[in-house]
Amino acid sequence: MDKAISKKIIKLLSQRYGSINPDLKYIDLYQLTIAVVLSAQTTDKQVNSVTPILFGKYPDFKSLSGAKIKEITKIIRSTGFYRNKSKNIIELSKIITKQHKGIVPDNMKELIKLPGIGRKSANVILSIGFKKPALAVDTHVARITKRLGYTLSHNPVEVERDVTAIIPRTDWIKAHLLFIKHGREICKARKPLCRECAVNSLCPDTHNIPYRP
């Protein structure tokens, strides 16, 4: 449970998957924040298919704050949960425009007050948007660190703290992306492909899971 081992894991995952570049196509905090809200329970592909249209028509918080829910649902429909998301991003835009002078807050306390922003989304905004050493402990990160024996708690805040403590501060974005890829492709929730796992030699779970071709 120390940084040396986490560094080793990150290194092994990098060797396996190559260097993954953080997706920094969102040119400003407005785009990043909205994209993060839209990303809940869907894939990048879906989000990327609607953001050009959305950002083309609503380039900033102010314009989005004046939009109608119906117009937004029409655009973001394919990302799922579209009624919640539409309502949330309009309301969020209003709050940021009126209460934060159009500036996205740079701390957890204020971010999670915004509709549609929870701990995970807030951490993505803090790390990618503000370059802070925040790590979004999503389902993949939580699952992988738990299987590796790094986290024992069920409390999400404690898990987040434990995980953040072991990830090198210079590598948090890369680490996050590696964990996501690894979690989706190999260390899956069900039927993990332990035989193909780049870090199986470090994983106590591996030996209990039979390999099925």
Partner DNA sequence: ATCCCGAGGG
Partner DNA sequence: CCCTCTGGAT
List the one residue from 94, 95, 102, 118 that touches DNA (CB under 7 A): 118
Closest separation between CB of residue 137 and DNA, Å? 9
168 is a site residue for DNA (CB under 7 A): no
The crossing angle, in degrees rounded to 10, of helices 172-185 and 3-17 is 60
174 near DNA, judged by CB under 7 A: no
Q: Which member of 8, 152, 189, 196 binds DNA (CB under 7 A)?
A: 189
Residue 171, interface with DNA (CB under 7 A)? no
82 near DNA, rule: CB under 7 A: yes
Task: Choose one: 109-117, 162-170, 193-201, 205-213; the region binding DNA (CB under 7 A).
Answer: 109-117
Q: Does 64 bind DNA (CB under 7 A)?
A: no
**114 touches 130 (CB < 8 A):** no
User: Min. distance of Cβ 43 from DNA in angstroms?
Assistant: 4
How far apart CA 191 and CA 209 sit, in angstroms, is 8
Query: Considering the rule CB under 7 A, would residue 41 count as an interface residue with DNA?
Result: yes
Would you count residue 95 as binding DNA (CB under 7 A)? no
The answer to the question of residue 45 lying near DNA (CB under 7 A) is yes
Residue 159, Ramachandran bin (φ over 0: left; ψ between -120 and 50: alpha; else beta): alpha
The piece of 4-12, 58-66, 73-81, 98-106 that touches DNA (CB under 7 A) is 73-81
Which whole-number Å values give the CA distances from 212 to 36, 126, 191, 204, 209, in the listed order? 36, 40, 8, 18, 9
DSSP string, 18-75: -PPPP-----SHHHHHHHHHHTTTS-HHHHHHHHHHHHHH--SHHHHHT--HHHHHHH
Q: What is the largest CA-CA distance in the chain?
A: 57
Contact positions vs DNA (CB under 7 A): 23, 39-46, 77-78, 80-84, 88, 112, 114-122, 124, 136, 138-140, 154, 177, 180, 183-184, 188-190
